[in-house]
Amino acid sequence: MKYMDEYRDEKSARDYAQLIGQIVKQKWNIMEVCGGQTHSIMKFGIDQLLPPEINLVHGPGCPVCVTPLEMIDKALHIASQPNVIFTSFGDMLRVPGSRNDLFSVKASGHDVRIVYSPLDAVGIAKKNPDKQVVFFAIGFETTVPANAMAVLHADKMGLENFSVLVSQVRVPPAMDAILSSGDNIIDGFLAAGHVNAVMGYHEYFTIAEKYSTPMVVTGFEPVDILRGFYFLIRMLEEKEYSVRNAYERVVTREGNPGAQKAIYEVFENGDQKWRGIGNIPQSGLVLRDKYQKYDASLRFFVQDIRTQEPEICIAGEILKGNKKPFDCPAFGKECVPENPLGATMVSSEGACAAYYKYRRS
């Protein structure tokens, strides 16, 4: 295959679904880690093509969704300060904090701007030396190289008015945490191709062997995803507990060495809290001592902010794969995209948003 439309070819998709139906012999609980894959599965009806023996469990692979509530409140506090330009990707502006969101802060007259790259925020800092410019650096390993480059550029330019509010998470420790939990039901994983394009998938072999849980790296188009399911079900049925790459056109085992070098020049692994899940050891990326002068949480003294999730929202259980959006009593009622209770209804990669858009009926 050479062109994108080939990966949406209906016949190829149905052929893979038929192959899966021929080899599956028992029930399997499969987690797709990435929220982008969740949306593709719902949008293209892949869940309806798969045989009933396969139960899909939606994982915590939505970077907006797993950003802790207290981190949102830190962003709101910083963005409300005088002489601050707070910059962020657009999907973070509607994520609810304890009382409001960044759109509300912007509407009240503060300078909150949507940017399309962290380097845009560096450019804003250069043009506004009398302002403190903060970039909300969230996301999985996919977004970290650009965040690292922003810090490196700011450092090279000697910008003292630029900082980053960091909430970056790593996938392998989260998979380990899910598999080690007492209520784990996962038999196999579809791993997120864009994360593996940066970091490779060499870390996954140890986890697959430790928990006897196979994993397949795949992409986001229907044929990619169904091909990934085919490989994974075949591995499960044959009791092969390893890792396979079904996204060869993008991903290699070792990933992108240049991107990794930039990441680990600026960041190091550290403990990280995930929204609705809790603290996962060594699942985050934090600024190294050399670059802590760019840490917005230290610059604005917000490291001690603590919060509590609304009781009615079960986003945490959804992110852990224990429940699905339909299990939430607020889904489609008190919680809708225009008035979300949790981040899983806001983000373009959130499971609740996917169900609301594609499966409400």
How far is residue 72 from each of residues 191, 260, 356, measured CA to CA in Å? 27, 27, 23
Q: Is 267 in a helix, a strand, or coil?
A: strand
- Out of 308-312, 323-327, 338-342, least confident range: 308-312
Q: Where do the H-state alpha helices sit in 84-169?
A: 102-107, 118-127, 144-157
Give pLDDT, residue 3: 63
The amino acid sitting at 152 is L
Strands 28-34 and 54-61: parallel
Whether the model pTM is above 0.85: yes
**Residues 261, 273: Cα–Cα separation, whole Å:** 25
Give pLDDT, residue 308: 67
pLDDT (tens digit per residue) in 141-182: 999 999 999 999 999 999 999 999 999 999 999 999 999 988
Q: Is 167 in a helix, a strand, or coil?
A: strand
Burial class of residue 150 (count of CB atoms within 10 Å of its CB; 0-12, 13-18, 19+): buried
pLDDT band at 41 (very low <50, low <70, confident <90, very high): very high
DSSP E strands, 45-142: 54-61, 84-88, 111-114, 132-139
How far is residue 8 from each of residues 150, 271, 338, 352, measured CA to CA in Å? 35, 39, 31, 24
Give pLDDT, residue 146: 97
pLDDT (tens digit per residue) in 72-125: 999 999 999 999 999 999 989 988 888 889 999 999 999 999 999 999 999 999
pLDDT (tens digit per residue) in 309-324: 667 788 888 887 888 8
Q: Check residues 65 and 117 and name the one with the higher pLDDT.
A: 117
Return the CATH number of the domain spanning residue range 4-56+186-245.
3.40.50.11750
Q: Is 26 in a helix, a strand, or coil?
A: coil
- To which residue do tokens 């991903």 refer? 251
Six token digits for residue 218: 């795949």
Question: 31 phi and psi, to 5 degrees?
Answer: -105, 125
Residues 6+ apart with CB under 8 A from 222: 7, 8, 13, 40, 44, 46
Six token digits for residue 354: 């996917």
Give start-end residues of each CATH 3.40.50.11750 domain in the chain: 4-56+186-245
Return the CATH number of the domain spanning residue range 65-170+255-299.
3.40.50.11740
pLDDT (tens digit per residue) in 232-258: 999 999 999 999 999 999 999 999 999
* Helices then strands, each counted (H, E), the chain: 17, 11
